[in-house]
Amino acid sequence: MASMPARTPAQNVAAQFLLRILPGRRARTRASRLLQYLLLPLAIVTVWETLCRANLIRVIALPAPSTVAVTLWGLCITGQLPVHVGASLLRVLEGFAAAAALGLALGVAVGVSTTVARFTDLVIQILRPIPPIAWIPLAILWFGIGEASKVYIIFLGAFFPIIIGVIEGIRNTDHRYVEVARILETSRWKLIRRVVLPGALPTIITGLRIGLGNAWVCVVAAELIAAERGVGYIIVDGREMSRPDLVIAGMISIGVIGKLMDVGLRKMERALVPWRAQYQGG
Q: How far is CA 132 from CA 99, 152, 222, in A?
A: 13, 9, 9
> Which residues, other chains included, contact 217 with Cβ-Cβ below 8 Å and sequence gap of 6+?
157, 254, 258
Residue 18, domain member (yes or no): no
pLDDT of residue 28: 62
**Are the beta carbons of 249 and 68 closer than 8 angstroms?**
yes
Q: pLDDT-based confidence at 1, cuts 50/70/90?
A: very low
pLDDT at 2 over 60: no
Residue 161, domain member (yes or no): yes
The CATH number that applies at residue 192 is: 1.10.3720.10
User: Can you tell me the distance from the alpha carbon of 69 to that of 245, in angstroms, rounded to the nearest whole number?
Assistant: 9
Measured from the Cβ of residue 163, the count of other Cβ atoms closer than 10 Å reads 27
What does the pLDDT look like over 38-70, one tens digit per residue?
788 888 889 988 988 888 888 788 888 999 999
pLDDT of residue 220: 81
Phi and psi at 22, nearest 5°, equal -90, 125
pLDDT of residue 282: 52
Q: pLDDT-based confidence at 112, cuts 50/70/90?
A: confident
- Considering only CA atoms, which of 177, 201, 210, 215 is closest in space to residue 270? 201
Residue 203, domain member (yes or no): yes
Domain of residue 93: give its range.
79-272
pLDDT at 218 over 60: yes
Task: Find the mean pLDDT for residues 93-110.
Answer: 92
Q: How many domains does the chain have?
A: 1
What does the pLDDT look like over 156-211, one tens digit per residue?
999 999 999 999 888 887 777 667 767 666 666 777 777 777 778 888 888 998 99
Residue 118, domain member (yes or no): yes
Q: Which of residues 183 and 105 earns the better pLDDT score?
A: 105
**Are the beta carbons of 228 and 216 closer than 8 angstroms?**
no
pLDDT of residue 227: 74
Query: By percentage, how much of the chain surpasses pLDDT 70?
Result: 82
Residue 32, domain member (yes or no): no
pLDDT of residue 20: 58
Residue 245, domain member (yes or no): yes
Task: Find the mean pLDDT for residues 224-236.
Answer: 81
Residue 119, domain member (yes or no): yes
Residue 175, domain member (yes or no): yes
